[in-house]
Structure 1
Amino acid sequence: MPTDTAVWFDLDGTLVRFPDYGDVLATACAAVGIDGDDAVDSFRDAYDAAFFDAFDEFAPEPYRRAAAAGLAAVDADADPVPFVAAVREAEYDAAVSPPAVRPTLSDLAARADVSVGVCTNGVGEWQRRKLRAAGVAAAVDAVVVSYDVGAHKPAPEPFARAEDLLPADHRIMIGDSEAADVAGASDRGWRGLHVAGPDEVPDAVEDALE
């Protein structure tokens, strides 16, 4: 029996603040002994290019591939695995939910006529662990991650998987990307709501359920 409404949220930039990734990479570089502005900049250029190439192609282990490319660019004789661990921890530390988000999600989860989902572009376990690290996973009924379905929002596949996981009479997508979240959801017949960041989530939820 479908619930009346399924409210889906993007993760990065919506439920959690998306960090300055330059700061994340600089922190991880320092953790594996890469220092100096020129070296960090060279590392980041190679890392970003390799990561997005791998990410767009759904290649396995995009973070490790990116780290290996960055390390090669600065001639660093280091194992990419510790670097990836440092990136992950730096990103989790930086990606936090503002105080108003948790009670908003908890209130939604307590409603019998609403189910709550997260539909996010990213790598499966990486995004799920971030959701747990942010302290909001307990209020979420289902999670869809683009890497798991082989397509990134605004492609229809993540939204179709979401529909399968949480049957509902009405579906709402709240996210910080007009193209990936709002337009992608609207193309599936959902209602899409744009937020500039996590601080706007409570008002968006109130608007969505009026």
Structure 2
Amino acid sequence: MYFDLDGTLCSYDTSFEALFRRTVSLYGEPTDVAHETYVDRLLTALDRCESDPYRRAFEPVTKTITLDVTPTTLAAEYCERELEATVVTADAKRVLDTVAATNPTGIITNGDGEHQRAKLDRHELADRVDEVLVSNDCGVRKPDRQLFELAKECLDADEFIYVGDSYDEDIVGAREAGFRTVYVDGGSVAVEDAAAADGIVSSIGELLDDDPLPAALEGPFAS
């Protein structure tokens, strides 16, 4: 059984835009154009699974506005702020522990390998699972079926389940690779709008409750 990281196991107590502005404001004016430039370049770097995506994202920012700092320093300081903003609930940890007690368990996440693994280490998640796959390390990004197929090769199981909060990247991508899926919708999506998912919960903690547990997934969670 695999889980997504950002938005599923891990949330944030500060917006990414606020983190960007706090980082840049120490050295200059964090304008809207600078933020848009940063976001566009970061998304491109992540989509292409490029190395050092945050440094690459800050490079055009230093050309858009005058900053007395290097892109490397900005990237390091931003990533540290984002790491400090991460929140992993006790429920999320209990879900991992419950599943891992009887099933091979892993995490599939999009992002920079070093940065994503730092989140896992900070919240002691890496030791709770058997396998971690990060898109930039693997050279392929969700929802590409290839990443899910690679994940299937990493755990010994007859059937695979994926739990994630992005319908297009997590649910659709995993289903195409033959996974059963649980959609963590945050309570904001109508059931008919997520028909491809085998189960829908509003939060990761609901997987520990008897009633919300999708009937199709009772086996993996049964003790």
Normalised by the size of structure 2, how large is the TM-score? Answer: 0.82
Q: Which runs of 5+ in 1 are unaligned?
A: 1-6
Q: 1:52 aligns with which of 17, 30, 43?
A: 43
- The yes-or-no answer on 1:94 pairing with 2:85 is yes
The alpha-carbon deviation at position 84 of structure 1 amounts to 0.9
**Deviations for 1:30-64, whole angstroms, at most 9, x for unmatched residues?**
3x4234xxx33232111112112222222221110
SS in 2 for 1:100: helix
Q: Give the RMSD, CA atoms, in angstroms.
A: 1.9
Given the superposition, is the C-alpha separation of residues 69 and 200 from structure 1 closer, same or farther in structure 2, using an over 3 Å criterion? Answer: same
Q: Distance in 2 between matches of 1:161 and 1:129?
A: 22
Whichever residue aligns with residue 143 of structure 1, its letter is V
Task: Give 1:204's aligned residue.
Answer: 207
- After TM superposition, list the pairs within 5 Å mapping 1:42-191 onto structure 2: 42-111=33-102, 114-191=103-180
The alpha-carbon deviation at position 192 of structure 1 amounts to 1.1
**Deviations for 1:110-161, whole angstroms, at most 9, x for unmatched residues?**
22xx011100111112111111112322211100111122221111111111
Q: Distance in 2 between matches of 1:57 and 1:152?
A: 8
Q: Which runs of 5+ in 2 are unaligned?
A: 187-200
Whichever residue aligns with residue 4 of structure 2, its letter is D
Task: Give 2:16's aligned residue.
Answer: 21
Whichever residue aligns with residue 206 of structure 2, its letter is D
Task: Give 2:2's aligned residue.
Answer: 8
Q: Distance in 1 between matches of 2:125 and 2:46?
A: 25
SS in 2 for 1:11: coil
Whichever residue aligns with residue 14 of structure 1, its letter is T
May I ask how many residue pairs the two structures share in their alignment?
Answer: 198
Whichever residue aligns with residue 10 of structure 2, its letter is V
Given the superposition, is the C-alpha separation of residues 140 and 199 from structure 1 closer, same or farther in structure 2, using an over 3 Å criterion? Answer: farther
Q: Answer yes or no: is the 8 Å Cα contact 1:16–1:134 preserved in 2.
A: no
The alpha-carbon deviation at position 9 of structure 1 amounts to 0.5
Q: Answer yes or no: is the 8 Å Cα contact 2:42–2:54 preserved in 1.
A: yes
The alpha-carbon deviation at position 177 of structure 1 amounts to 0.7
Q: Find runs of 4+ consecutive structure 1 residues off by over 6 angstroms.
A: none
Q: Distance in 1 between matches of 2:205 and 2:218?
A: 11
The alpha-carbon deviation at position 200 of structure 1 amounts to 1.2
Q: Answer yes or no: is the 8 Å Cα contact 1:98–1:199 preserved in 2.
A: no
**Identity over the aligned pairs, expressed in percent?**
31
Whichever residue aligns with residue 209 of structure 1, its letter is E
The alpha-carbon deviation at position 188 of structure 1 amounts to 1.2
